[in-house]
Amino acid sequence: MNLIKINQMEFPTLEAAWEGINEFLINNEEQIRRNGGGTYGTEMVSYDNFVHAYKPYIRPDFNFGEILGYTYKKWSKLVSNYVNLNYLDLVKSEVLDRENKKSGHYNFTFHFDNAHGGGKDCLISLSFCRRKGQKDPYVIYTTRASEVTSRLIFDFLLIQRITEYVYGVEKAQRCDVLCYIPFMFVNVERFLFYMGYKGRDCVKKQMVDNREGSERYSPYQKRCIDKYDEFMVIDPNKIKYKVHKRSAVQIQKGPDGKPISKTKDLFARDLTLPFHPKYKDKDIAKLNTNLKG
């Protein structure tokens, strides 16, 4: 019997998972190739990935506008496309019924919609589970595919909001999140958003032939660095493709230190589901205080 090679990763939070997965894909080309992935055009692809995050948590002040150039419309489209709220309420009622009965074991699954067709069925399901002998619930996220830099962090926030909606904000932070991502990738131009956020040094030189002092950038890493250096100085109006221009105006900063895209701030705390209360400063402070270690 041959076992499938799975990339297994553990992180304290979903935000840390997003950062770790970005840096895994850009800095571990050799391991990714050994496990069947690799470069395809402008993409670095990894297959069969299992991610365990110990909290469904993204900082309330994570700024999607400044980091990724997102507007509120992007969030509202994600929710309206994938989340049938009536169906979610039915799943919530099943889960809370078992919770109130202090059931030691249950599994209920919320299946994502694809109402507009534009989502390409990337999000598949979110299961709410209790396991025998485990103190707190698990949430299991299954997806078809994920572009990591600009999309995965938004999907992770949706997981957090749905989990909070089902269990309540405080109890949700005691849930573990298990994610199965069979196909995930970074794209050169989109990865520039992450480099603009974390700095050019997030791309680490790789040791060649395990010889000390033999570090160098892989060909894919060099493509990202070269494109970052190019887009940091180029006149965005000279860029042919709109999607590439979006990267340039997001990583180039004006005198105020903000992206020259002039995208408005869009904080995670302001992105909620309908009927989900808006976060107030006191709620955020309480949430942070109650995070388990």
Domains in the chain, start-ordered, CATH in brackets? 7-271 (3.30.572)
What is the average pLDDT across 116-128? 82
Ramachandran class of 146: left when φ > 0, alpha when ψ lies in -120 to 50, beta otherwise: beta
Contact indicator for 80, 115 with CB cutoff of 8 Å: yes
Question: How far is 77 from 74, CA to CA, in rounded Å?
Answer: 5
Question: How far is 174 from 139, CA to CA, in rounded Å?
Answer: 10
Question: How far is 244 from 231, CA to CA, in rounded Å?
Answer: 9
119, pLDDT greater than 70: no
- CB burial of residue 1 (10 Å; 0-12, 13-18, 19+): exposed
Contact indicator for 287, 268 with CB cutoff of 8 Å: no
| Residue 106, strand partner residues | 130
State which of 2-6, 87-91, 283-287 shows the largest mean pLDDT.
87-91
pLDDT category at 71 given cuts 50, 70, 90 is very high
Residue 184: closest CA among 5, 57, 55, 7: 7
pLDDT for position 215: 80
Name the phi and psi angles at 218, rounded to 5.
-70, 165
What is the average pLDDT across 62-79? 96
What is the average pLDDT across 227-243? 95
Write down the H helix ranges in 38-187: 64-68, 72-82, 85-100, 153-167, 169-172
Name the phi and psi angles at 84, rounded to 5.
-85, 105
CB atoms within 10 A of CB 209: 5
Question: What's the pTM?
Answer: 0.91
pLDDT tens track for 237-292: 999 999 999 999 999 999 999 999 999 999 999 999 987 656 566 666 665 655 54
- Token look-up 């794209």 returns 187
pLDDT category at 117 given cuts 50, 70, 90 is low
What is the average pLDDT across 195-206? 94
pLDDT tens track for 20-38: 999 999 999 988 999 999 9
Strands 43-53 and 7-11: parallel
pLDDT category at 160 given cuts 50, 70, 90 is very high
pLDDT for position 274: 84
Share of the chain above pLDDT 70, in %: 88
